[in-house]
Amino acid sequence: MLKNKEEMLQKKTWAVAGVTAKKDKFGYKIWKILKENNYETYGINPNYDEIEGDKIYHSVKDLPKKIEVLDMVVPPKIAISTLDEAKEADIEYIWFQPGTYNDEVIEKAKELGFKILYDDCVYKELRKNG
């Protein structure tokens, strides 16, 4: 898992599933800190068309380019259905934020062959490095 984490942090094209305009939520904080650290970052949330002038995509299928890392900030029942879209989009890495997964989600992610990371927070990681 540590190897996956190091590889993910070196990738520069990310999408945040569950981005939100609510500044006190991790869906916002993670999206924002990735952008502040010069990651090319796309937000995914079917409830938004834009946040702070950035286009927000309604699903993984709508993303305009290939993403290297998908950061999950959604409940497990949404995460599990997003995995199929991520596989179709040929995304290699998935970072599950705390609270976004259960055994079923992790099992499915492994079965689909993703390189995954869970039990860690990218927001905390980037703040530590910044």
Parent domain of 100 = 2-129
What pLDDT sits at residue 113? Answer: 97
Condensed to tens digits (0 to 9), the pLDDT of residues 93-119 reads: 999 999 999 999 999 999 999 999 998
Q: Place 9 in a pLDDT band, splitting at 50, 70 and 90.
A: very high
Condensed to tens digits (0 to 9), the pLDDT of residues 41-91 reads: 999 999 999 999 999 999 999 999 999 999 999 999 999 999 999 999 999
Q: Place 12 in a pLDDT band, splitting at 50, 70 and 90.
A: very high
Total structural domains in the chain?
A: 1
- In CATH, what number is assigned to the domain containing residue 42? 3.40.50.720
- With both helix axes pointing from N to C terminus, report the angle between 122-129 and 26-36 in degrees, rounded to the nearest 10: 40
Half-sphere exposure (CA, 13 Å, Cβ side) for 118?
A: 18
| H or E element in which residue 108 lies | helix 103-111
For 25, other C-beta atoms within 10 Å of its C-beta total 14
